[in-house]
Structure 1
Amino acid sequence: MKIRIDLSDGLVTATLDNNDSSKDFVKQLPMKLTLEDYASTEKISDLPRPLSTQGAPAGFTPSAGDVAFYAPWGNLAIFHKGFEYSSGLIKLGRIDSGLEILARPGPLDVTITLLGD
């Protein structure tokens, strides 16, 4: 499954993993979010509703380009820098192109839509 993240001045694409959390994320699309800076490593935003955590590992170590769901807070996280192992973090997929756009400081208004498989 591929998604596109549209910004006023750019486009980001990503490929989602085949897991329950990613499938649940797709069910919420299309969606408009404001991505905010967090810890100088990621952009985050609350989701309309929490995603399924069925079958998900206890956590993972994200690297730049990972798209994830942080279950304890119920938010989407897109990493533009690597980070340490985080319990409750579930990988949804990976950015294919446009990561540099998401690394810019400040909030970003985005629209996320499904492109297909």
Structure 2
Amino acid sequence: MDRRKFLIWGHAIICSLGLSLPATAEESGNTFRKGSTMTEIQFILGSERLFATLDDSPAARDFAAMLPLELTLSDYHGTEKIADLPRKLDTTGAPASYKPETGDITLYAPWGNLAIFYKPFQSSRGLVRLGRFDGSISALLKDGDFPVRIEIVE
């Protein structure tokens, strides 16, 4: 089954059961809003593909507008993989800080770089969540620098 159809089908089941999706960031723990359009992206590392969903926020929409991107990921402090972005992102309305969890895709606004957390970390000023991986991120747990292509799932 096509990934997009599966997500729509899953949403239909939630609605048919009389359940509702979170309506605010406070209810969901991120910037998802009921009725928003979530952007699905993929990280391509050689023959492996990791899927993620971007939040509905100015920074995440601005990041999606840059795609596709070819970046080089590097390890940073044994906690995250980072890469320089070609330009700064729109962080309008972003919280002053964010506490990242494993699988979070973030922007570190002061440096303008992408930061993908493979371990949880403390709340950090200037960290802006862009989205989250949908499954395992084990393909990112490599030593050294390595290339990645990030693109929107069509």
1:59 to partner: Cα distance = 1.0
Q: Are residue 65 (structure 1) and residue 103 (structure 2) matched?
A: yes
Q: Are residue 15 (structure 1) and residue 53 (structure 2) matched?
A: yes
1:104 to partner: Cα distance = 2.1
Q: 2:141 aligns with which of 103, 106, 109?
A: 103
TM-score (norm 1): 0.95
SS of the residue corresponding to residue 134 of structure 2 reads: strand
TM-score (norm 2): 0.73
Partner of 2:62: 24
Specify every segment of 5 or more residues in structure 1 that has no aligned partner in the other structure, as ranges: none
Partner of 1:90: 128
Letter in 2 for 1:54: T
Q: Is the 8 A contact 1:32 1:110 kept in 2?
A: yes
Partner of 2:14: none
Q: Is the 8 A contact 1:11 1:98 kept in 2?
A: no
% same residue: 47
SS of the residue corresponding to residue 97 of structure 1 reads: coil
Letter in 2 for 1:99: I
Inter-CA distance 108–98: structure 2 relative to 1 (3 Å threshold): farther
Specify every segment of 5 or more residues in structure 2 that has no aligned partner in the other structure, as ranges: 1-38
- Which one has more relative contact order, counting CA pairs under 8 Å at least 6 apart? 1
